[in-house]
């Protein structure tokens, strides 16, 4: 009578057959600790199974080595192997289909999680309405000619602007004087010489000092660019 798979002998027999390699009592006891089987009980089960010819064993000194009986295994025929291969191929295709379905469902779940809830939409709408009201208030003030810049800030910015314009004019004049001195008696063509040195005028860079001077507040323009 074969031992039940849920008792000690049955568990030990299943393990030895599944491993299908040489094992001693300690190997089996260590692997079956999760079943609360002690080494003494495992040793007894191994000996009983060996006596019943369910497994084989060999003695090496005082130690016994237990092995599954190969003659008790059902060896599949060539036809069985072919059927197994076909079944495996079918299962692989089904697995790939399941993976694709799983990936699609996960994508849909992520998309749903990324959508706002009704409560979040309501909160965002209220926030945007407040921002729109503030912008409309600023826009109305601009339409009415009301300045949104503090006088002290305006004065500071105008001073910085005038200083930059002054420096620009000064450096432009210094360059012109120096350039005229260098090119006055030069045998080279002035345009070619300028390109050779990689020099660019304001016009070459698409800027104009005069246009920036026009931006200065009325009454504070200090003359045209030289």
What digits encode the pLDDT tens for the residues 164-184? 888 988 998 998 898 888 888
What digits encode the pLDDT tens for the residues 28-43? 999 999 999 999 999 9
Mean pLDDT of 119-134: 90
What digits encode the pLDDT tens for the residues 201-226? 888 888 888 888 887 766 555 555 55
Is 1's pLDDT higher than 50?
A: no
What digits encode the pLDDT tens for the residues 71-96? 888 777 888 888 889 889 989 999 99
CA-to-CA dists, residue 79 to 71, 76, 83, angstroms: 20, 8, 6
Helices (H), 144-208: 151-183, 190-197
CB of 55 closer than 8 Å to CB of 13: yes
CB of 100 closer than 8 Å to CB of 61: no
Is 186's pLDDT higher than 70?
A: yes
52 CA to centre of own chain: 60
Closest to 68 (Cα-Cα) out of 106, 19, 116? 19
């Amino acid at each position: 009578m074969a031992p039940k798979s849920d008792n000690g002998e049955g568990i030990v027999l299943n393990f030895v057959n599944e491993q299908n390699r040489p094992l001693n009592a300690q190997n089996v006891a260590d692997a079956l600790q999760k079943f609360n089987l002690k080494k003494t009980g495992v040793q007894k089960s191994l000996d009983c199974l060996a006596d019943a010819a369910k497994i084989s064993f060999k003695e090496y000194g005082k130690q016994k080595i237990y092995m599954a009986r190969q003659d008790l295994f059902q060896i599949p025929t060539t036809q069985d192997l072919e059927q197994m291969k076909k079944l495996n191929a079918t299962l692989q295709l089904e697995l790939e289909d399941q993976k694709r379905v799983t990936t699609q469902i996960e994508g849909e779940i992520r998309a749903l999680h990324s959508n706002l809830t009704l409560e979040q939409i309501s909160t965002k709408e209220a926030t945007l309405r407040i921002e729109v009201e503030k912008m409309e208030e600023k826009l109305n003030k601009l339409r009415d000619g009301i300045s949104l810049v503090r006088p002290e800030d305006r004065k500071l910015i105008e001073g910085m602007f005038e200083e930059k314009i002054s420096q620009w004019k000064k450096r432009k004049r210094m360059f012109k004087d120096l350039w005229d001195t260098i090119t006055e008696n030069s045998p080279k063509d002035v345009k070619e010489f300028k390109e050779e040195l990689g020099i660019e005028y304001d016009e070459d860079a698409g800027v104009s000092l005069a246009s920036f001077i026009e931006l200065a507040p009325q009454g504070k323009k200090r003359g045209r660019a030289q």
